[in-house]
Amino acid sequence: MIYDPVLTVGLPAAVTASSGMNAMAHCVEAVYAPGANPVTTLLARDGIKILAACLPALVTDPFDLGTRRDALYAAYLGGTAMAEAGTALHHKICHVLGGMYNLPHADLHAVLLPHTVAFIETHDPAALSPVASALGADSAGGALYDLAARLGVATSLGQLGVSPDQVAAAAAQVAAAGADHAAATPTAARSA
C-alpha cells in the first residue's frame, strides 16, 4: 500500500473533506466495534486527533503536503484499527443505505457519522468517551457534526437526495437484518 500525499493534491476540497470524514468513521468505529481493544482505541484516538486538526486545514490549503501526509497517516491508523476491531452499527447502516440507493461512499459516511455517534452516546456515553476526549469535546456526536459543517460536507441524507420514504425503507431493512446486539450496544463490545 502506498500513501503518497502528492497524489492527493488534485482532489477537490469536497472529496478531501468527505474522504477524511470516512477515515474518521474508521477511527471512531474502532473504539466501540465488537473487536475493540486498548490497542485499537489508542490507534483510533491518535487518528481522530490528527484528522480533526488536518481536515479543516486541507480544505483551505490543499497544497500543504505536510498536512496531507499527516492526514494519510491518520487514515492508515483508522484502517489498521478498524481491521482489528471490525465494523459495527455505523457501517451496517451505511452499507444498507449505500446499497439500496447507490450513494457516494465517503459522503454517506460523512453524513451519518455524527448522527450514529449521537445515537450511541444517548444510550452509552462511556462507549464514545475516548472519541469525545480525542476531539476535546463533551459530546463526540456534537463535535463530529461541527467538524462536518466546518468542512462543508453534507450533514443530512436529504442533501444526498434521499427522501424521508427512502430513509424509512432503509431503516426497516436495517431493523429486519437485526444488527447484532454487540453492534447496537457498545458496552458489550468493550467488555468482550
Q: Is the pLDDT higher at 2 or at 56?
A: 56
Task: Name the pLDDT band for 178 (thresholds 50, 70, 90).
Answer: low
User: Cα–Cα distance between 101 and 10 in angstroms, integer?
Assistant: 28
User: Cα–Cα distance between 171 and 19 in angstroms, integer?
Assistant: 24
Q: Is the per-residue pLDDT at 183 higher than 80? A: no
Task: Name the pLDDT band for 176 (thresholds 50, 70, 90).
Answer: confident
C-alpha 90: how far from chain center: 8
Question: How far from 28 is each of 39, 60, 103, 136, 172, CA to CA, in Å?
Answer: 13, 24, 21, 14, 25
Question: How far from 160 is each of 10, 145, 153, CA to CA, in Å?
Answer: 23, 16, 10
Which three-class secondary structure string do you get for 84-121? HHCCCHHHHHHHHHHHHHCCCHHHHHHHHHHHHHHHHH
pTM for this model (two decimals)? 0.90
**Helices first, then strands: H and E counts in the chain:** 10, 0
Of 97, 103, 121, whose CA–CA distance to 18 is shortest?
103
C-alpha 15: how far from chain center: 15
User: Cα–Cα distance between 93 and 178 in angstroms, integer?
Assistant: 11
CATH architecture of 5-184: Up-down Bundle (1.20)
Task: Name the pLDDT band for 192 (thresholds 50, 70, 90).
Answer: very low
Q: Is the per-residue pLDDT at 187 higher than 50? A: no
pLDDT per residue as tens digits for the range 6-33: 999 999 999 999 999 999 999 999 999 9
Question: Exposed (0-12), middle (13-18) or buried (19+): which is 172, by Cβ within 10 Å?
Answer: exposed
How do the residues of the chain divide into helix, strand and coil, expressed in percent and rounded to 5? 80, 0, 20
pLDDT per residue as tens digits for the range 106-165: 999 999 999 999 999 999 999 999 999 999 999 999 999 999 999 999 999 999 999 999
